[in-house]
Amino acid sequence: MVITKFHKPIVSVEWLHKNKDATNLVILDASIPKVTENTNSTNDLCIPKARFFDLKNKFSNTAASFPTTYPTQDQFESEARNLGINNNSFLVIYDDKGIYSSPRAWWLFKSFGFENVAVLDGGLPAWIEAFYPLSKKEVYQGAIGNFTAKKNQDCMCFFDDVQKIVKNRTHQVIDARSQARFMGQEPEPREGLRSGTIPNSKNIPFQNLLVNGRLKSENEIRDIFQEVLEDDKPMVFSCGSGITACVLALGAELTGYKNMSVYDGSWTEYGSLINNNDMDAVQNWSKKELVAYILFYAANSNLSETNKERNVILSKVDMNTFQMVYDEFKADNDYQCIQKIIQGMETHEYSRSDLNQLFVDIKVLFFADGEFDQVEHVVFNWLKRIINEAA
C-alpha cells in the first residue's frame, strides 16, 4: 500500500493507524524536549516507527543569534535525507503537546517546496487517548533518502521584509502569542527580551484555534480569522520565535487561505533589533541633528573620527548638539545606526537639492584628512543608496 494524496494539511490518529503500514509513509516526531520535564513521563515513548525531527539542533541554524532560525537549503536537504525522507515520501508530523511544534516542521517542508506533508491532529496525546500502541524512541539508522529541497521564497519572511511591511502596510501581521504577552501584561519568557508588538499587528493566540490539543472545526477557525482580517491583504504570522506562528499558518491553510507567510525571527528578533524608545527619539530629531549623526557614521568608517572630521561636524551644529549626537552614536551598534538613519530620513522631507547637499557634506567630511580612500568610497556609496531609498 502507498499513499498518493493528502486532502487536507491535517490527518486524524484514526487515519494514521489505518495507514501506518504504507510503504511511502514517514512519521516524524517534532516534539521539543525540555530538560525540566518529568523523565518518568512519555518522553521516551513515540508512535511506532517515528523518526525524531530535531527542530532545535538539526533543522535550525544554530549559529544564528535567535532561536529556531530558518536553516539553509543545503542543511535542510541533508538532514531530511539523513532521516530517510525521499521525494515520493508522505510525511505525517506530530508533537507531544498535541499541536504545538509540529506545524513548524510542516511549514519548513512547505517552505522547501515539499507538499506531501500533514500534521497529526491532536499529536501524541490523541494517539495515546485512542489506546494505539507506543514504542521506545530510537535513533533512525535506516537508508539515506533522496529528498530534494527547493526553497519557496513566499513561505518565509525576514526582518528586512517586515520592516518594509510595517512601513508600507502591504500585509496584515497576525501575532500568535497569548493576549497577555501581546498586550505587554506578562513578560516575555526569553530573558532580557522586552515586551511589545510589531506595529499595526493583530492578535490571534494560537490556543484560540485549539480544543484539547486538536484544531477546532474549519468553520470555527474561519470565523476567528474573519474577526481580525480587515481586507484581502496577504497575511504574515508572527509569535515569540517562529514556532506557534505556524499553528496559525496551519489553521489558515486548512480554511482555504493561500497568500501567507511566517516571520521567521518573530518578536524575539524584532523586539531585540528595534528599540521603540530610540525610534521615537529619532522622530524628534532636527535635520541638523540627523546630519550630524550621519556624519558621525561616515567619519567612523575607519573605526574612529579624526579631529579634522570632528571640525566638519562642528561646522554643522553647536557643541551641545554635537555632544548629544556623539553620545547617542557611540551607544549604538552598526545595525542600530543604519536603522536610525533610515528612520530619520523617513521622518523628514528632503528635496533633491537637500539630498545633494547632504552628499556634498559627507564628501567634505571624507576629504577632511586629505584623501578619499577605498573604504570611504564604499561607505559613501552605501550611505547614498540607503538614504535615497529612505527619502
Active-site amino acid positions: 239
Find cell 504577552 and name the residue.
181
Specify whether the CB–CB gap between 56 and 104 falls below 8 A: no
Beta bridge partners of 260: 235
Question: CA-to-CA distance for 278 and 337, rounded, in angstroms?
Answer: 11
Specify whether the CB–CB gap between 107 and 262 falls below 8 A: yes
Name the burial class of residue 389, with classes exposed (0-12), middle (13-18) and buried (19+) by CB atoms within 10 angstroms of its CB: exposed
Strands (E) in the chain, as ranges, are 10-11, 25-29, 45-46, 51-52, 90-94, 117-120, 135-136, 156-157, 172-175, 202-203, 210-211, 214-215, 235-238, 260-263
Amino acid, single-letter form, for residue 253: E
Amino acid, single-letter form, for residue 198: I
Question: CA-to-CA distance for 126 and 107, rounded, in angstroms?
Answer: 21
C-alpha cell at 158: 525576514
Return the closest-CA partner of residue 279 out of 343, 232, 194.
343
Query: N- to C-terminal Cα distance for the chain?
Result: 61
